[in-house]
Chains A and B, each alone.
Chain A
């Protein structure tokens, strides 16, 4: 609930669309993690920064919590509304403000979609490198909040590595420019800190991204392997050979079959594991590079090897990988997408442990893997209408995160903590470390109004979780994402 006085004050703001009608508010009840639906009591869609600032000031004055939202494609519930808070939609801030082909930067509003940036700058021969799979829809503001990755992180980095400057609005409406006009500014690196802060520190209101020249030549190699251990070994061998691929992805048998049935990408159905390796560079070097990597893959035991150099053939090979999630969605009523990252040398052991859990819980799992950077997406297949299956899927998911931690990894590589993994934060971090996070929050948002309850658990919650862990999360909801 939001107090009438607040609603009245908000109604006075110019350039602001307030959504009070329940049927229209319902659209905003969840992000990509639909399990955590919560009807927002009120939705504000500001049309100008002045309106946004006025909204924040009203909320600040009346102590109303706020959740900012871009396109709502996030997978961890970071933009799930609060029962007692205002949902602020930033998708209307969708203008590209400036493209500077000399400095190779673009200055954009937070609601611009990831792909729209690359499209807008394509005629200048430049592109924006981070490409999360939701890039058609996800916004750059959300990318900053989550520090989004994609399939090209190994070579080109995460969002953090591709943003030069930000404008942020703090909870009280103060506007700050971070990053300076050059490549360094004095004092603590707040620009880095904002990345992946999941909307808890400030609202991103402008982003200056670094652009890169499009590579002259690109080629994709597809190799099939008789087992995942050989494929994992091949990944190591490619990197040990001194090659840094633009993308290096792995899929296991179930994922291969689902993708092939769905989009007919030409994947080898007899393979237990598949590697997709994208190489880019100058026209004069790409052939030599491709030969080198092909030799490495063959030496590592590739049973099949296909090269796609022209754009159409490359797109076809990538299509299967990019459609892997919906493809898996076709073979089971529901799936639960995990997002752990592990040191790659433990891949075979981690996949083994996941397979063992899969048998234990009697639920199949398909693995899609950003192999180059160790980011694993196990997709647990289940039927949400079957309460028992749902509970097993939940328990299985929690086990997967614990397995990642046991092997020195992390509970989330790129999807964020949000609401979904907040309890596992208690496993990854000690009370001392969580206290540091709380100190950061209190410097930016002392009143605790921005996205409370997400990303960083309270110490109390962790204490309770210790007991809850045995009984499973009774508070969670029986409906999981499809993305």
Chain B
């Protein structure tokens, strides 16, 4: 259903009140973006549907409220997929939520993240006007890349109406393997295996190193042969848990982003992205003095939420200036405070 007119009316109405708008899809990521007092939620959930899909062009354009599961199904029927492998935190997850949060799954280091597959989008701007950036084509360098700027902006720059995504053919064969080991051993193996042709995931969870092959049937034996002794074929279930953060953990869940060869962190729950993304559980995230990574808030545990702040470095200040020039009246919510305040 095309809810553009309704959404535009809702945004324009909301603009008259002095309360920032929080665009929401299925509401499955409220843990990441809580609804606080004085915020007006505008839901895109009814704005659903595939606008066009041309499998032989590897492009699909969908409305933001389209369920992620519907998108996956449509692609599957044509033998294609969304390579960025986004997590799902519930059946109500939408395409708009995937794009606004920019969260990508275990295949991120090998095939790219959400922004790498966004070709264009239509948004309701903070002014209430509708604007289109990018397009339905693979290559497009006209104008600044506002589409990709909106990916992961957490709804702070406007309300996403629809997106054009690059999709890819399904791999002929997908197979996960597991090696039982401790985290430091897993990390060593991760570093050794980075170049394996067909590697599409490399994660550590539940005392096991998980790797995934995707590619042709013919090339799979070579992949298997190159793995260290002790790897066993397994279902992809544990990798799905890593993707969807289905962890049993005490304390708040924090994300760590840094170099793959940085020392394994304390409080580690899981490693993903070949070691570049790590999930830590702790009531307070304390970064070691020599840790080259960055720690940000992800999900609340049982304890009260800790104090969080926004980035105060030069990049953070520029990000805030950009938000200010693109949304001078603060019509949309700010990017959330994710940095632990110690």
Chain A interface residues toward B at CB < 8 A:
102-104, 125, 146-147, 149, 153-154, 157-158, 160-161, 170, 174-178, 180-190, 192-193, 195-197, 201, 213, 215-216, 236-237, 239-240, 242-244, 281-285, 288-289, 341-345, 370, 372-375, 408-417, 421, 425, 428-430, 432-433, 436-437, 439-440, 442-444, 455-456
Contacts and interface: CB of A to CB of B under 8 A. Distances in A.
Given A189-B149, A193-B149, A440-B144, A103 B219 contact: no
Contacts of B108: 183
A186 B153 contact: no
A157 B149 CA distance: 18
A290 to B, nearest CB: 12
B318 A412 contact: no
The number of chain B residues touching the other chain, given as a range, is 35 or more
Contacts of B54: 343, 345
Given A176-B314, A181-B294, A343-B59, 17 more contacts: A102-B260, A103-B261, A187-B311, A188-B322, A192-B149, A239-B55, A281-B215, A281-B216, A345-B54, A373-B138, A373-B139, A375-B137, A410-B135, A410-B142, A412-B141, A417-B143, A436-B133
Interface in B236-257: 255-257
Contacts of A456: 143-144
Given A345-B54, A443-B321, A213 B131 contact: no
B84 to A, nearest CB: 12
B258 A181 contact: yes
B113 interface: yes
Contact of A192 (B115, B133, B335): B115
A289 B194 CA distance: 24
B141 A416 contact: yes
Contact of A242 (B79, B135, B260): B79
Interface stretch (B34-42, B166-174, B281-289): B166-174
A435 B191 CA distance: 46
A183 to B, nearest CB: 5
B315 A183 contact: no
B206 interface: no
B57 interface: yes
Contact of B219 (A147, A285, A408, A436): A285
A148 to B, nearest CB: 9
B322 A413 contact: no
A189 B152 CA distance: 7
B109 A183 contact: yes
B116 interface: yes
A430 B122 CA distance: 13
B336 to A, nearest CB: 9
Contact of B112 (A157, A410, A442): A157
B221 interface: yes
B29 interface: no
B153 to A, nearest CB: 6
A286 B197 CA distance: 13
A337 to B, nearest CB: 15
Contacts of B142: 410-412, 417, 421, 425, 428-429
Interface stretch (B3-11, B12-20, B85-93, B323-331): B323-331
Contact of B197 (A153, A154, A190, A213): A213
Contacts of B324: 443
A183 B194 CA distance: 15
B82 interface: no
Contacts of A213: 195, 197
B226 to A, nearest CB: 11
The 7 lowest CB-CB distance pairs between A and B, nearest first, are A182-B257, A373-B138, A413-B139, A236-B56, A282-B219, A242-B169, A192-B148
Interface string B294-337: 10100000000000000100111011011111100000000100
Contacts of A242: 79, 169-170, 172
Contacts of A190: 315, 318-319, 322
Contact of B319 (A188, A285, A413, A415): A188
A100 to B, nearest CB: 9
A189 B315 contact: no
A242 B172 CA distance: 9
Contacts of A282: 197-198, 215-216, 218-219, 222
A354 B191 CA distance: 51
Contacts of A160: 116, 145, 148
A421 B58 CA distance: 27
A104 B194 contact: yes
Contact of A374 (B130, B138, B323): B138
A239 B127 contact: no
A407 B106 CA distance: 36
Contact of A161 (B112, B129, B323): B112
B136 A343 contact: yes
B293 interface: yes
Nearest to A102: B191
Contact of B143 (A188, A237, A341, A437): A437
A174 B145 contact: no
Given A186-B294, A282-B198, A345-B54, A196 B141 contact: yes
Nearest to A441: B144
Contact of A187 (B258, B259, B277, B315): B315
Interface string B65-97: 000000000000001000000000000000000
Given A285-B216, A373-B137, A433 B143 contact: yes
A13 B272 CA distance: 47
A106 B311 CA distance: 27
B184 interface: no
A123 to B, nearest CB: 14
Nearest to B115: A192
Nearest to A125: B195
A239 B169 contact: yes
B125 interface: yes
B137 A413 contact: yes
26 contacts: A149-B139, A154-B138, A178-B315, A183-B276, A184-B257, A187-B315, A188-B335, A190-B318, A197-B144, A213-B197, A216-B197, A236-B56, A237-B56, A242-B172, A282-B218, A282-B222, A341-B138, A341-B139, A345-B57, A413-B139, A413-B141, A432-B131, A436-B133, A436-B146, A440-B322, A455-B143
B204 interface: no
Given A345-B57, A444-B318, A183 B139 contact: no
A442 B79 CA distance: 44
Contacts of B235: none
Interface centre among A187, A289, A374, A428 (most CB of B within 10 A): A187
Contact of A183 (B57, B129, B221, B273): B273
A181 B138 CA distance: 28
A263 B191 CA distance: 45
Contact of B221 (A182, A188, A284): A284
B301 to A, nearest CB: 20
B56 A240 contact: yes
B135 A409 contact: yes
A101 B142 CA distance: 35
Contact of B140 (A146, A175, A188, A341): A341
B257 A185 contact: yes
Nearest to B153: A188
A103 B315 CA distance: 24
Nearest to B170: A242
B151 interface: yes
